[in-house]
Amino acid sequence: MIEGHGDDSYRYQDIRLNFSSNIYSHADLDGLQAYLHDKMEVLSSYPEPEATTLAAELAQWHHIDPDCVMVTSGATEAIYLVAHAYNGQHTQVLQPTFREYADACVMNGCKVSAIYQLPTQCEKFRIDNRVDLLWICNPNNPTGNILDKSYLQNLIEANPQVTFIIDQSYEDFVMKPLFSASEALQYDNLLLLHSLTKRYCVPGIRLGYITAAPHLLRHLRTHKMPWSVNALAIEAGHYLLEHGIGGVPPISDYLQEAQRLRDSLIATGAVDVWETSTHFMLAQLRMGKASALKDWLAMQHGILIRDASNFDGLDNRFFRVAAQLPAENDCLVAAINEWMLT
Amino acid sequence: MIEGHGDDSYRYQDIRLNFSSNIYSHADLDGLQAYLHDKMEVLSSYPEPEATTLAAELAQWHHIDPDCVMVTSGATEAIYLVAHAYNGQHTQVLQPTFREYADACVMNGCKVSAIYQLPTQCEKFRIDNRVDLLWICNPNNPTGNILDKSYLQNLIEANPQVTFIIDQSYEDFVMKPLFSASEALQYDNLLLLHSLTKRYCVPGIRLGYITAAPHLLRHLRTHKMPWSVNALAIEAGHYLLEHGIGGVPPISDYLQEAQRLRDSLIATGAVDVWETSTHFMLAQLRMGKASALKDWLAMQHGILIRDASNFDGLDNRFFRVAAQLPAENDCLVAAINEWMLT
């Protein structure tokens, strides 16, 4: 899907508060910017065809072997690469979730079906035996829901015939336990997707990676184009893994603020808000359309939210926001209160 | 193909002269670097999903409509995108040429056949009627050969059932006439690939584009992932189209120097060099292997050449070089003379 995502501020004039992507807007990127400035000579040479030096650093970061890591142009390339490598297979997607899983699979001739609930212990965790591939976003975009790690372990072990793709793009914005890259490697049928874009609040740079058993990555590699990650993105990765970024609040404080935003949104009386285990949340208008609220907030207040009506299973009353600074979150709540009076 | 391309200086220590990619090494990128430094705030936001502002600028540059331009992550994404959009079809590739056309087509389930000669006027320009897609690199990598525009016009008109992909990545390094983007639009069955990487000597940034009739690009768009071009690459495109780069000699001087390099290489007695119409050339050792020469030049002189033995139809005696500064070209020739005495 080319259009219809969040962070579409290019469609509006003068957006000053951006709640529409799941990125914290106040990270301090000065160190990264200074580093890239000093590395501009990389413009003059081809990047590594497969960003192997960065893959090696990520492997070290995760305490796993380099042949268990593949760097991609954002998690998006990872999604399209997996869909291509498993083209034509029967794919299931746990919905509602990020549209790209289903879109990439359809584009690659997969039979795609939606499920809204995974099998329970009573069902012996057994997935429909026609399914080859199952996509799970954890924590899930747009709901903020997290599946228990122990449940996922049971699910994966009970279905060795299924290849699981678990997108952990938001893994750094949760308190609950998730698969570590090394834990996930014990499974022959699990690909974990990760996002440096999300971890380091740099969506402009496009940098993600996959961790998985080497035989799974070897299969993906036969479907990968060279040079998908440009030289500045590779350099950014080198810097970020060593130095990180500043300005992001401790995760417990940030999630507490997200809960405060959720409570405040509910208190407006305008919306129901789903429970979330991360920094973003899914809200459902009691009256009116999310697209109308989005346009009104953008035009009247320079506030951008994510119209979530194009997620599978959701309707035109849904929108998604990610918590920002407390004062900004208060602005959003105040603006929604004002909108109710219009 | 992930490995096996030129500009693999990351494999060697201390490369000081790089003839291995078809990029002029002495472009002045100071202006671009300063501009990117001032635009680092783009790291904090998602890029446009499809780089449409840059596509519009390219359209203006070529005096064509914006819906006739699609920006890609280097010409490489364009190649893989076309192969994906025409998956499963019968593809022909005019060989020897850039490996990615055939690789991308095989990866996408196309039946791929090689041809070494195109049909002549006596053959009424008729292509094998089983062929759906024909790939031509013009000027051709690695030979430097150019096909006449009038011949290509006849070929395209005589075969309306074939979709032609003409990769003009090196279009800015020739004196002979090629298709302009607007001329090419008169054909319903022609996709032109272009490379900003090559035009502006910025291989690190990954920036290419396709120009074609809107219905062809609409078809490609249904196979495109969002955000394939990162925000710094889009900004680089904005700058380059307006300001260009410095330091590149006038094309007539540069091609004259390339001819001087060719003559000097032939004069060593070590190689035959194919005639070229551009700044790079294909050389064939009379004795020995190109891989051995490559390693020797890298280790002894810090000189990098492109072992061309992995191009379809070529053998282990072939290598490719692109002309650089006259004194550097002289160094290459002197080193090859020295190698002959080893």
Task: Supply the ipTM of this predicted assembly.
Answer: 0.95
Under an 8 A CB cutoff, do B53 and A107 touch? Answer: no
| pLDDT band, residue B330 (cuts 50/70/90) | very high
At residue B315, the pLDDT reads: 96
User: What residues in A contact B46, CB-CB < 8 Å?
Assistant: 5-7, 21, 203-204
Q: Is the pLDDT score of B3 beyond 80?
A: no
At residue B186, the pLDDT reads: 96
User: What residues in B contact A23, CB-CB < 8 Å?
Assistant: 44
At residue A142, the pLDDT reads: 97
Q: Distance between CA atoms of A20 and A307, rounded to whole angstroms?
A: 8
User: What residues in B contact A18, CB-CB < 8 Å?
Assistant: 45
Q: Are B59 and A21 in contact (CB under 8 A)?
A: no
At residue A10, the pLDDT reads: 75
C-alpha distance from residue A262 to each of A276, A283, A296, B330 (Å): 9, 9, 20, 70
Q: Where in chain B is the domain with CATH 3.40.640.10?
A: 30-243
Query: For testing the chain B interface, which of A25, A107, A232 should be mutated: the one with the most B CBs within 10 Å?
Result: A232
At residue B12, the pLDDT reads: 84
Q: Distance between CA atoms of A200 and A255, rounded to whole angstroms?
A: 17
- Beta pairing class for B208-212 and B190-195: antiparallel
Q: Distance between CA atoms of A16 and A328, rounded to whole angstroms?
A: 10
Which amino acid is present at B280? F
User: What residues in B contact A205, CB-CB < 8 Å?
Assistant: 43, 230-232
At residue A12, the pLDDT reads: 83
Option in A2, A7, A221 nearest B45 (CB): A7
Which amino acid is present at A110? C
Option in B48, B50, B227 nearest A206 (CB): B227
The CATH number of the structural domain formed by A9-26+249-341 is 3.90.1150.10
Q: Which residue of A has its CA nearest to B50?
A: A2
Closest C-alpha among A286, A281, A275 to residue A332: A281
Q: Distance between CA atoms of A319 and A15, rounded to whole angstroms?
A: 17
CATH topology of domain B30-243: Aspartate Aminotransferase; domain 2 (3.40.640)
At residue B33, the pLDDT reads: 96
Q: Which residue of A has its CA nearest to B220?
A: A107
Under an 8 A CB cutoff, do B227 and A233 touch? Answer: no
Strand partners, A271: A285
User: What residues in A contact B201, CB-CB < 8 Å?
Assistant: 44
At residue A1, the pLDDT reads: 75
**A254-272 residues labelled b (16+ CB within 10 A) or e (exposed):** bbebbeebbebbeebebbe
User: What residues in A contact B100, CB-CB < 8 Å?
Assistant: 225-226
- Of chain A, the percentage scoring pLDDT greater than 70 comes to 100
How many cross-chain Cβ pairs, A to B, lie less than 8 Å apart? 166
Q: Where in chain B is the domain with CATH 3.90.1150.10?
A: 9-26+248-340
Q: Where in chain A is the domain with CATH 3.40.640.10?
A: 44-243
At residue A8, the pLDDT reads: 83
Q: Is the pTM of this model over 0.90?
A: yes
Across B29-45, average pLDDT? 96
- Of chain B, the percentage scoring pLDDT greater than 70 comes to 100
User: What residues in A contact B221, CB-CB < 8 Å?
Assistant: 2
Q: Are B203 and B56 in contact (CB under 8 A)?
A: no
State which residues of chain A have pLDDT below 50.
none
Under an 8 A CB cutoff, do A40 and B36 touch? Answer: yes
The CATH number of the structural domain formed by A44-243 is 3.40.640.10
Strand partners, B272: B284
User: What residues in A contact B20, CB-CB < 8 Å?
Assistant: none
pLDDT digit string, tens, across residues A214-262: 999 999 999 999 999 999 999 999 999 999 999 999 999 999 999 999 9
Option in B10, B36, B37 nearest A48 (CB): B10
pLDDT digit string, tens, across residues A5-36: 888 877 888 999 999 999 999 999 999 999 99
- Beta pairing class for A318-322 and A306-307: antiparallel
CATH match for B9-26+248-340 among 3.40.50.460, 3.90.190.20, 2.60.120.380, 3.90.1150.10: 3.90.1150.10
Under an 8 A CB cutoff, do B232 and A205 touch? Answer: yes
Measured between CA atoms, how close is A107 to chain B, in angstroms?
A: 6
Q: Are A240 and A21 in contact (CB under 8 A)?
A: no
Under an 8 A CB cutoff, do A40 and B33 touch? Answer: yes
Q: Is the pLDDT score of B2 beyond 80?
A: no
pLDDT digit string, tens, across residues B199-257: 999 999 999 999 999 999 999 999 999 999 999 999 999 999 999 999 999 999 999 99
User: What residues in B contact A73, CB-CB < 8 Å?
Assistant: 73, 227-228, 230
Under an 8 A CB cutoff, do B2 and A49 touch? Answer: yes
Option in A21, A40, A48 nearest B46 (CB): A21
* Whole-number average pLDDT of chain B: 96
SS3 content of chain B, % helix, strand, coil (to 5): 40, 15, 45
pLDDT digit string, tens, across residues B157-186: 999 999 999 999 999 999 999 999 999 999
Closest C-alpha among B151, B147, B197, B189 to residue B172: B197
| pLDDT band, residue B4 (cuts 50/70/90) | confident
Under an 8 A CB cutoff, do B49 and A25 touch? Answer: no
Q: Is A127 helix (H, G, I), strand (E, B) or coil?
A: coil
Option in B5, B201, B222 nearest A226 (CB): B5
